Amino acid sequence: MRLAMISLHTSPLQQPGSGDAGGMNVYVLSTATHLARRGVEVDIFTRATRKGQGEIVEVDPGLRVINIVAGPYEGVSKEALPTQLAAFAGGMLQWAHCHNERYDLIHSHYWLSGQVGWLIRDLWRVPLVHTAHTLAAVKNAHRSAEDSPESEARRICEQQLVDNADVLVVNTEQEEADLIHHYDAEESRIRVIPPGADTELFTPGSDRATERARRELGIPLHTKVIAFVGRLQTFKGPQVLIKAAAELFRRDPHQALRIVMCGGPSGQHATPEEYRQLASSLGIERKVRFLDPRPPAELVALYQAADIVAVPSYNESFGLVAVEAQASGTPVVAARVGGLPLAVADGETGILVAGHDPHDWADALAELLDNDEKRIAMGEAAQRWARKFSWQASAEKLAALYDEALAMDVEDCPQRHARGD
């Protein structure tokens, strides 16, 4: 089987946690890696963003990243990428023609990639599998008051993909329900395949490893640590954690507590300075430390150094950070949204918080900070819980789905048309 994956707006080789790189990058690279190990030949097509990055990057045996030139290398925001869809599609077609490459199936990730996949599917006459990862209607339904809404143009494009893709892959049953409710998707074309985590890399550390990690972070051994890992954008909720931390210090100004924010800014005009200023305005700037995004091999040390990992997102299709943290033996306090109730066993491996009120978050965090026995027991249960999720299992289910899609008679499938509503 030869598979063309499309990840137009962000390369799977980009460092997660900054810009447009996040859990989707990890998902694409991890599933592609394990699919290649199963004998599926995978080419991931993404937009070139640097002149010297090379057209073809050999990642693993059977796995390549193809950098397609579409628009200027730099200075094109994600919001402007719809203007480059035709250029990207043309670049993909030209590359496949010049290299005499043929593919059995297309799997697109995110709506921008899906629009390209939809066009090429009909030219190559192969099945199109699409994974949205996030949906405009869902993001708008859950966004905070200060967050900008997703455009109606994006929602329409997503509706077209829901109507025209041969198979829709979602991470959770909640995502399936969202597709049906917001986009009137046909249940028969939806498949639920949970993502995984690298449970061989993300493991609990010894006391000595935790001490070393804290020493490298400059955090005293006997200080409690709450970590946030992800892009610094309103939708991910870093401001919720900072405000909750301020409430904790208001209740007990002398407690030994530090907040570690690991991630980079995301979105137009985004900067980590706004979150530093928020901490300063709340009088806790010396209690909050900001770290640049880290590769997985270094990120595991941060998870191990933390007593709690907070995931205050306004929505998550799954919650990869929550699973990685639990695999590292760290309990999670997360918002009760999206796929997080699947990723976190409420009351067993962490606590799910309804809403984003900083006082409620302070209560949940304090419940674990003040009860060492409960927090340690949750950490031990978290490691066992996280073993349920693996990229190998995700790839196995995807490979079976691809076989199912290939059994479809694409030539005889009636063309579905977007309703444009």
310 is in an annotated binding site: no
At residue 32, the pLDDT reads 97
- What is the pLDDT averaged over residues 324-338? 96
350 is in an annotated binding site: no
Q: CA 117 to CA 44: how far, in whole Å?
A: 12
15 is in an annotated binding site: yes
Backbone φ, ψ for residue 7 (5° rounding): -135, 75
Direct distance between the N- and C-terminal alpha carbons of the chain, in angstroms, rounded to an integer: 36
146 is in an annotated binding site: no
Q: CA 36 to CA 220: how far, in whole Å?
A: 43
- One domain, residues 235 and 183: no
266 domain residue, yes or no: yes
- One domain, residues 192 and 258: no
Answer yes or no: is pLDDT of 181 > 70.
yes
- One domain, residues 330 and 183: no
25 is in an annotated binding site: yes
What share of the chain has pLDDT > 90, as a percent? 75
347 domain residue, yes or no: yes
- What is the pLDDT averaged over residues 219-238? 92
Contacts 24+ apart (CB under 8 A), 143-149: 143/234, 143/235, 143/314, 144/234, 144/235, 144/237, 144/314, 144/356, 146/234, 147/234, 147/235, 147/314
- One domain, residues 340 and 215: yes
Give me the number of domains the chain comprises. 2
- Residue count of the chain, please give it: 421
420 domain residue, yes or no: no
418 domain residue, yes or no: no
- One domain, residues 22 and 118: yes
303 is in an annotated binding site: yes
For residue 38, what are the CA distances in angstroms to 32, 45, 126, 269, 397? 10, 20, 21, 42, 11
- Share the mean pLDDT of the chain: 92
Answer yes or no: is pLDDT of 306 > 90.
yes
Rg (CA), the chain: 22
Reference 312, options 243, 247, 376; nearest CA is 243
pLDDT band at 130 (very low <50, low <70, confident <90, very high): very high
223 is in an annotated binding site: no
In this structure, the strands spanning 308-311 and 128-131 are unpaired
- What is the pLDDT averaged over residues 180-205? 94
Answer yes or no: is pLDDT of 17 > 80.
no
- One domain, residues 281 and 333: yes
202 domain residue, yes or no: no
130 is in an annotated binding site: no
9 is in an annotated binding site: yes
At residue 417, the pLDDT reads 43
- One domain, residues 35 and 103: yes
- One domain, residues 164 and 55: yes
- One domain, residues 23 and 163: yes
Answer yes or no: is pLDDT of 95 > 60.
yes
Answer yes or no: is pLDDT of 414 > 50.
no
**Six token digits for residue 247:** 């409430």
Question: Per-residue pLDDT tens for 365-410?
Answer: 999 999 999 999 999 999 999 999 999 999 999 999 999 999 986 5
Answer yes or no: is pLDDT of 284 > 70.
yes
At residue 420, the pLDDT reads 44
Reference 130, options 152, 92, 160; nearest CA is 160
195 is in an annotated binding site: no
- What is the pLDDT averaged over residues 124-143? 94
Q: Which domain holds residue 184?
A: 2-196+391-412
286 is in an annotated binding site: no
Report CA torsion sign: 366, 369, 372, 373.
Answer: positive
335 is in an annotated binding site: no
Domain with residue 303: its CATH number is 3.40.50.2000
Question: Per-residue pLDDT tens for 240-256?
Answer: 999 999 999 999 999 99
Pair 35, 399: CB distance under 8 Å: yes
More confident residue, 18 or 277: 277
Per-position DSSP letters for 78-121, written without gaps between them: GGGGGGGHHHHHHHHHHHHHHTT---SEEEEESHHHHHHHHHHH
At residue 418, the pLDDT reads 44
- One domain, residues 382 and 395: no
201 domain residue, yes or no: no
186 is in an annotated binding site: no
pTM of the full structure: 0.84
Q: CA 201 to CA 92: how far, in whole Å?
A: 34
- One domain, residues 150 and 254: no
More confident residue, 381 or 144: 381
238 is in an annotated binding site: no
Return the number of other C-beta atoms located less than 10 Å from residue 346's C-beta.
14
419 domain residue, yes or no: no
Answer yes or no: is pLDDT of 413 > 70.
no
347 is in an annotated binding site: no
417 domain residue, yes or no: no
At residue 77, the pLDDT reads 84
At residue 411, the pLDDT reads 52
- One domain, residues 188 and 216: no
Reference 276, options 97, 199, 286; nearest CA is 286
236 is in an annotated binding site: yes
Reference 199, options 396, 399, 388; nearest CA is 388
- What is the pLDDT averaged over residues 63-79? 91
Coil, helix or strand at residue 190: strand
Return the number of other C-beta atoms located less than 10 Å from residue 278's C-beta.
17
